[in-house]
């Protein structure tokens, strides 16, 4: 079995440092932020942060993800 290295891109690393999520899961295309109490406020803040810092990231979410308080921040 081969070991795979997970590397975080520069834009994603900057986002994680500023957003400071409590729980997140690394994905192949970005991260999934989990356990958010106020989902609307968190998504709005994430979008504003991405725009302000001019990062090449986008926020993706769905009704299924909203059921357990999560959304994704992915590379564009």
Kindly list the structural domains of the chain, giving each domain's residue range(s) and its CATH number in brackets, ordered by start. Answer: 10-75 (3.30.70)
Residue 74 CA to residue 76 CA, distance in Å, equals 6
**DSSP-derived secondary structure letter, 14:** H
Confidence check: pLDDT of 8 > 80: no
Residue 72 CA to residue 56 CA, distance in Å, equals 14
- Residues 13-63: tens digit of each pLDDT: 999 999 998 899 999 999 999 988 899 999 999 999 999 999 999 999 999
End-to-end CA distance of the chain: 31
- The more confident residue out of 41 and 3 is 41
């Amino acid at each position: 079995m081969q070991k795979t290295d997970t590397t975080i891109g520069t834009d994603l690393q900057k986002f994680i440092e500023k957003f400071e999520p409590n729980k997140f899961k690394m994905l192949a295309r970005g991260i999934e932020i989990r356990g958010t109490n106020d989902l609307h406020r968190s998504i709005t803040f994430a979008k504003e942060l991405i725009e302000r810092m001019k990062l090449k990231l986008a926020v993706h979410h769905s009704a299924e993800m909203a059921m357990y308080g999560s959304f994704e921040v992915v590379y564009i």
